Amino acid sequence: MAKKISKENLKELKEKGTGFFGEFKEFIMRGNVMDMAIGIIIGGAFSNIVTALTTDFINPLINGIGGAEVAGTFKIYGGQVIRYGDFITSVINFLIMAFVLFILLKSFNKISAIGKKEAEEKEEEKKAEDIVLLEEIRDLLKKNAK
């Protein structure tokens, strides 16, 4: 027995999508996926800025102050080299990015806490009014019971 397709059913199927591609469309259109994609793109661009900061400013300062070569190498057997300077630069880049992300997250949490705190204060005021009202009702019931 074939299912009769009405105009409403057809419109609903068209809007929803069907099967795998419908689910994929729904997944992509979620807000958090788009936010994540934007975050990754901005993170990549920010990574370039941090790398430039480390390479062009921090490494020369370290070289100038301590006389240590950050972009140094260590020769081992067979002509192979260990690039410890590149590793140190990567660690510095990581620490800078982690610090900046920490500051951003801390700021975001502080800003969002302000809104939550105001909402909690309003809720506490409302609870206080409810308690006062309940106490008045209790007192009236006691008075009427006597």
43-52 pLDDT, tens digit per residue, is 888 888 888 8
Number of helices (H), then strands (E), belonging to the chain: the values are 5, 2
Distance of alpha carbon 9 from alpha carbon 83, whole angstroms: 64
pLDDT tens digits along 109-121: 888 777 777 777 7
Structure tokens that stand for 55 in this block = 């390479």
pLDDT tens digits along 50-107: 888 877 877 777 777 665 556 677 788 888 888 887 787 778 878 887 887 788 778 8
Structure tokens that stand for 34 in this block = 């788009």
For tokens 């140190």, name the residue.
Answer: 88
The domain spans of the chain are 16-113
Superfamily the domain 16-113 falls into: Large-conductance mechanosensitive channel, MscL; domain 1 (1.10.1200.120)
Q: Which amino acid belongs to residue 121?
A: E
CA distance from start to end of the chain: 74
pLDDT tens digits along 4-45: 556 666 566 566 556 777 777 777 777 677 777 778 888 888
According to DSSP, residue 79 is labeled: G
Q: What is the mean pLDDT of the chain?
A: 76
Q: Does residue 1 surpass a pLDDT of 50?
A: no
To the question of pTM greater than 0.85 for the whole model, the response is no
